[in-house]
Amino acid sequence: MADLDNAYALNGPDDCRRLYAQWAASYDTGFAADMEYRLPAHVAMAFLAHGGGDADAVLDVGAGTGLLAASLREQGFEGAIDGVDLSAEMLARAGEKRLYRALYRADITAPLPFSGPYSGIVSSGTFTHGHVGPEAIDRLESVAAPGALFALSINAGVYAAQGFDAALARRPGVTLVEVPIYGAAAAGHDPAHAADRGLIALWRHRA
């Protein structure tokens, strides 16, 4: 799938903005449907299974079109959800779904334009090839409440190569859950990526 290859080859925020401006209109009905994109549902399930249902306010990082927020609601989460993403076009799609309390357009590798504090921080598909590295985790912890539950997906192909392993080793109590990113339908659309795996990193923030 050309869009996925282009996404994995991104180099910096400007590339991200351009790609997702073009991709936003067809993201849900094209990529997510064709590839049977399961990662958002896996992240939501892991977050709730580790006690995230008690969070009063959650930040959805790299919210995109709102697939993770939709999965959280489908699985029974009732707290407030705010979203942050670099792409105005993707956020516009997310806003149409009326899942969020607030949506912010921001680069999560720079100082964040909001302060929280959030009792849960979740992300699906943002920490991957060509996107965001582990340096953003410090930024996210700056808006996390003490004891906040993190549930961040990391593409298994970049986990060690981009230093996520070292970054998470500095945080006590991290649990990793390995999941398939896509379902069986992906093999018919993009055999090269159909078997891609994700690692969901879960931990409680210690201020």
pLDDT band for position 1 (cuts 50, 70, 90): very low
Q: Are 150 and 136 in contact (CB under 8 A)?
A: no
Q: Model confidence over 156-197: pLDDT tens digits?
A: 989 999 999 999 999 999 999 999 999 999 999 889 889 999
pLDDT band for position 57 (cuts 50, 70, 90): very high
pLDDT score at 190: 83
Q: Model confidence over 9-52: pLDDT tens digits?
A: 545 565 565 666 666 677 788 888 989 999 999 999 999 999 99
Asked if omega into 117 is within 30° of 0 (cis), the reply is: yes
pLDDT score at 2: 46
Give dist(CA 133, CA 85) in Å, integer. 15
Domains and CATH numbers, the chain: 2-204 (3.40.50.150)
Q: Model confidence over 77-127: pLDDT tens digits?
A: 999 999 999 899 989 999 999 999 999 999 998 999 999 999 999 999 899
In sequence order, what DSSP letters do the residues of 79-98 get, joined into one string? SEEEEEES-HHHHHHHHHTT
